[in-house]
Amino acid sequence: MVEICRPGVSSCRRRPPTSRAESAEMLSLSRSIGRRCLSRFRQSAHHRSCSSTAVVDQEPPKILITGGLGQLGRGLAPPTTGEIRPLQRHPHRHSQADCRRGKGRPYRFADILDFKLLQEMIVNERITWMFHFSALLSAVGEQNTALALRVNIEGLHNVMELAKQYDLRLFVPSTIGAFGPTSPRNPTPDLTVQKPSTIYGVSKVHAELMGEYYHRKFGLDFRCLRLPGVISADTAPGGGTTDYAVHIFHEAIRNRAYKCYLREDTRLPMIYIDDCLRAMVEVMECDPRLLKQRVYNLQAISFTPAELAKEIRRHMSNFQITYEPDFRQQIADTWPQVLDDSRARADWGWKHLVDTPDLVELMLQYLSHHYEFNAGRVAN
């Protein structure tokens, strides 16, 4: 396997691909690292944070992932145990090649609003866990509020009701966008005022409250993490306000320049995809008796566009960045700068592994090889 390891974890470095098979391995970088994260977690962190009572499920769970071809869904499928049943609302946006990436795990094109079809899949496949990722993100949601309401809220209601009916363990990600201009920004605690300014944020507060209600009322095993901006290299950004932190690496490699839609001093919390995937697996596998709440903040790193650009220049001295803030700046100005995740660290042993220098090195090396290989294919 051709891969890159984190600085501080191993000294190995990835070499340029020499075959199409090796390039395919590179295109699965986040997933291979995710598997290593999960392996390390099971050997150490799992026992540290959840002690001898942590492993509640004796049989591997059968897992349904909604939004399975998105950033989180694609990354999560290999690290999780059990069988994967990804679900996507917009089949026309994905090719047959996308489906083949499942490597034997069945993909189903379906509408998250189709309750009956979801029900049939859960029953027929004997699903026991669900990761509900289907959603319109912040920037996209503001441009199509009606669709965001349907997907983010009606779709959630379908998932909640089915999880209740069939006694599923349910994970729904929340977001820094669940906070608003009246929330403390640095740090932002788990419990504080939440009055978000976007339909995406409103829908996520709704999801948090519904999950907690279903847990109290019906005993639903609901688990939720408020995620920072998630940075990964092997999927395209999905329309979020934090997406600049992905775009900047592509533009750095292709053009040595980037025009940022946020101000240079806009500080936001971020997380590398491997840490994010590991956190979701950890909280889902943890003994429910150790979870003192159902919704947790998740913090890893925090930086501004200017700080990220400075770190990129350590590898590319001629990289240039300019700033032209647009409507996304108003959204970012209402979001946390740093999340207080002390409860996650205390209750189930959360600890991030990838800091900003590590993230920059990983992203630049991965994408450099990716573009080199694609350029070679065009030349040939």
For the stretch 42-51, pLDDT in tens is 444 444 444 3
Amino acid in the structure at residue 66 = T
Maximum Cα–Cα distance across the chain = 62
Average confidence (pLDDT) over 113-119: 96
Residue 178 pLDDT level (bands cut at 50, 70, 90): very high
Contact 224, 211 (CB under 8 A): yes
Place of tokens 């936001």: 268
> Taking Cα atoms as reference points, which of 319, 300, 318 lies closest to residue 358?
300
Choose the weakest-confidence range: 30-34, 276-280, 302-306, 307-311: 30-34
Q: How far apart are CA 40 and CA 47, in angstroms?
A: 11
Q: Which of 200, 214, 261, 296 is catalytic?
A: 200
Q: What is the 3-state secondary structure (H, E, C) of 237-263?
A: CCCCHHHHHHHHHHHHHHHCEEEECCC
pTM recorded for the entire structure = 0.82
Label the pairing between strands 169-171 and 108-109. Answer: unpaired
Q: How far apart are CA 262 and CA 328, in angstroms?
A: 7
Give tens-digit pLDDT for 147-160.
999 999 999 999 99
Let me know the angle formed at the C-alpha of 241 by 239 and 247, rounded to the nearest 5 degrees: 70
Question: Long-range pairs for 72-75 at CB < 8 Å and ≥24 separation?
Answer: 72/131, 72/133, 72/173, 72/230, 72/276, 72/277, 72/280, 73/131, 73/133, 74/31, 74/101, 74/234, 74/235, 75/30, 75/31, 75/34, 75/232, 75/234, 75/235, 75/273, 75/276, 75/277
Give tens-digit pLDDT for 345-371.
999 999 999 999 999 999 999 999 989
Contact 189, 260 (CB under 8 A): no
- Could you give all domains of the chain from N- to C-terminal order, each with its CATH number? 20-232+270-299+340-354 (3.40.50.720)
For residue 200, indicate whether it is catalytic.
Answer: yes
Choose the weakest-confidence range: 162-166, 232-236, 308-312: 232-236
Higher pLDDT, 92 or 39: 39
pLDDT of 137 > 80? The answer is: yes
